[in-house]
Amino acid sequence: MNRVRITKTLRGHDTLWFYIFISPWLIGFVLFHLGPMAASLVLSVTNYSVLMPTRFVSISNYQAMFADELFWLSISNTVYYATISVPLTIVTALLLALLLNNSTLRGRALFRSVFYMPSILPLVAVSILWIWLLQPRFGLINTFLSWFAIKGPNWLGDPAWTKPGLIIMRLTHIGADMVIFLAALQGVPVHLYEAAELDGAGRFRKFLHITIPMISPAIFFTFIIGFINSFQVFTQAYIMTGGGPNNATLFYVLYLYQFAFEFFKMGHASAMAWFLFVVIVSLTFVQFRWGSRWVHYGN
Amino acid sequence: MALNQLSRRDFLRLSALGTASTMLAACAVAPAAAPSAGGAQAPAAATVNLQFWSEGAHEWAEEQIALYMEQNPAVTVEYVTFKSQEMTPKLLTASAAGTAPNLTRQDRFRVAGWAGRGGAEPLTAYMEQYSVDPSVFWPATWEECQWQGVTYAIPFNTDGRYVFWNKDIFAAAGLDPETPPPTHDWEAMIDLAVSLTQRESDGVVNVMGFIPSQVLSNAYGNGGDYLYVWANRGSFLIDDRTASLDSPELQQVLQWQKDIVDAVGGIDVAAEFNAGWPTTAGFSPFGAGKLAMMVNGDWNIGDFARYYPDLNFGMAPWEIRNSPGEYTGFAGGFSLAIPAGAASLDETYRLLDFLASYDSQLSASIRYQFIPARKDAALSEELLASSSNPAQRKMANESMEYAHFRPVTPVAGEIHSYWVRPGTARDWVLYGEKDVATACKDMQEAIQKALDEYWVSIGA
């Protein structure tokens, strides 16, 4: 009995310390995330404009949102960007990590630093830089294409090419994903490869049947985070295109920002924010269900 | 020895307690500062702290605030300057938090939006106390500060829009470089835009004749989209409650803009030429001799003198359509306003009076080559003499007498967005997504809806 009581006391003691340790995060989360989120849910059914008296408007913000053609266009633009940029980013980062995980590569540390470096640059500065890189006549991208007799498009001026231009830009910001993959690759037990070699497996089979399953949690993590971030793409469009040309880069959060800070329609903007939240949570849930089929946690 | 060692658990506990204590200490209210030992240098007991926010004009703000505090030692003024367009979101959140500054220098066309939503302090008491005479300001700048018959801001500076033309390109094309483009004749402007456009052997445009819109970027100009409406005797509102964005006058403007863009090669050609020109003063296709004509602001007089000193250009007011010699103009610019609920109103009024004064406006205008909102400052010899081109400066400043201003309405932001910004009416038409009539109809519905919502929201 004494032993049980002591164990329970210890557990209670540990629980208390657990909450003390996480309290800084917990307080911050409640004050700066959960509280504003709950407030925005309430605001989404009001005509809140910050400056004027607020009135309950039921679901009219949601109705107006769904009836707005630009709302659907902004969703279409965002889904296009996310569904293409996320897989491309993961594949590119994984390939890069595989290359830089090669122990025979000379200057490996230097290359890792170089490829990681764009990730630590401010996105605003990078956006200004990419305006020049994507310039149709003198930009480096089109100059490179011209060496192969390809006339590059007007990346930021042609509605058909603006989103691909921003996706190319995104592909240079893969440092964080690359580091995650590098860490995961180094955690794959060598004996698995040795056993596979004894069974006559080649490089591709080893990659497919050992590397991919063993790093699948890392792939899954980057996939989830990539999707969540891509659905909130804002800075590039705000700086580089202002949502144009012809709304080709009117992404969801940019449109939400316009409602909140240009039209003073915080209630409408809150409704948009909650719709985005529900979409992201639903997609993440689906991805988790789907992930349980292919993510290997080693158990 | 073992007794003196901390276990890992104890170390973590102490760390947690330390962190929590630090956070609590940080949250605690700071004690009042101890009185200064030097009694003579101690601040006056009744020191008033004011906050002043300004969109741009950092150097002017720094100079004037220092001067004001020197003259008023009992007042401390903190100032914050923002880049263009960046102050509004911060002012909005500060207002929501009840921490708005005492005084702001903000874009004048937004004043009605703030006033109409209760975000700006009426200046009736200030005007009485300081005997403000509206007639000292350019009419457009004063009218733009009114909402429902009440003054909510004091005009500070303004800027006009004019047609600029490159005299060398005109001369090379066999035109009289001293004669301004025929802005009253819109068909002639289309022909001129085409004839002045030069292409390289591969068809790429080397010199663009004229693109009458800033929808692609400011590389092609600034403010023309509004100017043409007034030149065509149109307006955006019939009254405070009724929009008129589908009027024949506005439809004709959109159609004419599309006709010019199509005539010089279409939107793709215009977009390609425009790509990559930053919108900063030192990078201008007009300044570089790559754009024959544009509509732009008077600030270019100084910018060109600084960045393109050899540029040979003319500048003239835009004419009313089909009325040669009869001009119109567009007055933009800034004003000084007090956010609603600001504390220390008497002290704020004094600061407002100081910053809106002749000397203050003149100082800013000489420094930045603004047009002062006060007529006497705008026409002062000192300001004209400070210009790189006094004749052009004089013409620009005097043109404020007949300049128009953007619609004074709480939905000015929406009108600006639909009429000028990318992705709305002009894009719909230029990219062939909608015809002019449909674009204007959709725009009208959106603005009228915003207007109706506004009036319902205030219960009127």
Q: Is residue B12 situated within a structural domain?
A: yes
- Interhelix angle A69-100/A108-116, nearest 10 degrees: 170
Listed residue (B284, B230, B187) closest to B407, CA to CA:
B230
Is residue B24 scored above 90 in pLDDT? no
Confidence of residue B9 (pLDDT cuts 50, 70, 90): low
The whole-angstrom separation of Cα B460 and Cα B457 is 8
**Min CA distance, A18 vs chain B (Å)?**
10
Neighboring chain A residues of B417 at a CB cutoff of 8 Å: 258, 262-263
Domain range annotation of chain A: 1-43, 59-291
**Residue A299: which residues within 8 A CB-CB, separation 6 or more?**
none
Average pLDDT on B50-71 reads 94
Take residue A85 and report the two structure tokens written for it: 């940029």
The whole-angstrom separation of Cα B91 and Cα A76 is 32
Q: Which candidate from B89, B275, B417 shows the least CB-CB separation from A135?
A: B275
Is residue B419 scored above 60 in pLDDT? yes
Average pLDDT on A118-146 reads 90
Q: Which candidate from A49, A154, A159 shows the least CB-CB separation from B117?
A: A49
**Range in A103-112, A279-288, B158-167, B221-230 the model is least confident about:** A103-112
Q: Which candidate from B20, B215, B457 shows the least CB-CB separation from A20?
A: B20
Q: Which CATH number do you get for residue B226?
A: 3.40.190.10
Q: Do B356 and B318 belong together in one domain?
A: no
- Give pLDDT, residue B201: 87
**Min CA distance, B89 vs chain A (Å)?**
5
Residues 29-58 of B with CB under 8 A from A: none
Q: Using one digit for the tens of pLDDT, what is the confidence trace for A30-51?
A: 999 999 999 999 999 999 988 8
Work out the angle at residue B80's Cα, subtended by the Cα atoms of residues B75 and B85, and round it to the nearest 5 degrees: 140
Residues 110-129 of B with CB under 8 A from A: 113-114, 117-119
The whole-angstrom separation of Cα B154 and Cα B336 is 5
CB contact under 8 A, B117 and A246: no
**Min CA distance, B151 vs chain A (Å)?**
18
| Torsion B432-B437-B438-B439 (CA) sign | positive
Please give the sequence-ordered ranges of beta strands (E in DSSP) within chain A, or none if there are none.
none
Determine contact, residues B105/B350, Cβ cutoff 8 Å: no
Q: Do B319 and B396 belong together in one domain?
A: no
| Residue A236 identity (one-letter amino acid) | Q
- The dihedral formed by the CA atoms of B413, B415, B419 and B423, expressed in degrees to the nearest 10: 60
Task: Go through chain B and tell me how many residues it has.
Answer: 460
Confidence of residue A291 (pLDDT cuts 50, 70, 90): confident
ipTM passes above 0.95? no
Neighboring chain A residues of B117 at a CB cutoff of 8 Å: 49-52, 264
Q: Is residue B408 situated within a structural domain?
A: no
Q: Do B176 and B320 belong together in one domain?
A: yes
Q: Do B341 and B239 belong together in one domain?
A: no
Q: Do B440 and B366 belong together in one domain?
A: no
CATH code of the region A59-291: 1.10.3720.10
The whole-angstrom separation of Cα B331 and Cα B318 is 13
| Residue B80 identity (one-letter amino acid) | V
Residue B75 structural domain? 2-158+332-401
- Cis bond upstream, residue B31 (ω within 30): no
The whole-angstrom separation of Cα B318 and Cα B330 is 10
Confidence of residue A12 (pLDDT cuts 50, 70, 90): confident
- Compare all CA atoms of chain B with the CA of A259 and give the residue at the minimum distance: B414
- Give pLDDT, residue B14: 57
- Give pLDDT, residue B370: 92
Q: Do B308 and B433 belong together in one domain?
A: yes
Measure Cα distances from B155 to A116, B42, B66, B257, B338 in Å: 50, 37, 22, 32, 12
Q: Mean pLDDT for chain B?
A: 88
Q: Do B229 and B323 belong together in one domain?
A: yes
Buried b or exposed e, range B7-21, using 16+ CB within 10 angstroms: eeeeeeeeebeeeee
Average pLDDT on B56-71 reads 94
Q: Using one digit for the tens of pLDDT, what is the confidence trace for B152-167?
A: 999 999 999 999 999 9
CB contact, 8 Å: B14 with chain A?
no
Q: Using one digit for the tens of pLDDT, what is the confidence trace for A187-232?
A: 999 999 999 999 998 989 999 999 999 999 999 999 999 999 999 9
For the CA atoms of chain A, what is the radius of gyration? 24
Q: Is residue B414 situated within a structural domain?
A: no
Neighboring chain A residues of B113 at a CB cutoff of 8 Å: 264
SS3 B173: coil
Q: Do B248 and B319 belong together in one domain?
A: yes
Neighboring chain B residues of A245 at a CB cutoff of 8 Å: 216, 271, 422-423, 427, 431
Q: Do B150 and B173 belong together in one domain?
A: no
**Range in A165-174, B179-188, B199-208, B276-285 the model is least confident about:** B276-285
Q: Do B352 and B264 belong together in one domain?
A: no
Neighboring chain B residues of A260 at a CB cutoff of 8 Å: 89
Confidence of residue B93 (pLDDT cuts 50, 70, 90): confident
Q: Is residue B324 situated within a structural domain?
A: yes
Residues 324-343 of B with CB under 8 A from A: 340
**Min CA distance, A47 vs chain B (Å)?**
8
Partners of residue B284 on adjacent β-strands:
none
- Give pLDDT, residue B17: 56
Instruction: Provide the number of structural domains found in chain B.
Output: 2
**Residue B441: which residues within 8 A CB-CB, separation 6 or more?**
B246
Q: Using one digit for the tens of pLDDT, what is the confidence trace for A245-273?
A: 889 999 999 999 989 988 888 999 999 99
Buried b or exposed e, range A93-103, using 16+ CB within 10 angstroms: bbebbbebbee
Q: Using one digit for the tens of pLDDT, what is the confidence trace for A55-99?
A: 899 999 999 999 998 999 999 999 999 999 999 999 999 999 999
Q: Using one digit for the tens of pLDDT, what is the confidence trace for B369-412?
A: 999 999 999 999 999 999 999 999 999 999 999 999 999 998 98
Answer with the residue of higher pLDDT: A299 or A142. Answer: A142
- Give pLDDT, residue B19: 52
CB contact, 8 Å: B18 with chain A?
no
Q: Is residue B410 situated within a structural domain?
A: no
pTM greater than 0.90 (yes/no): no
Q: Is residue B353 situated within a structural domain?
A: yes
Q: Do B59 and B83 belong together in one domain?
A: yes
Average pLDDT on B289-298 reads 96
Q: Do B320 and B377 belong together in one domain?
A: no
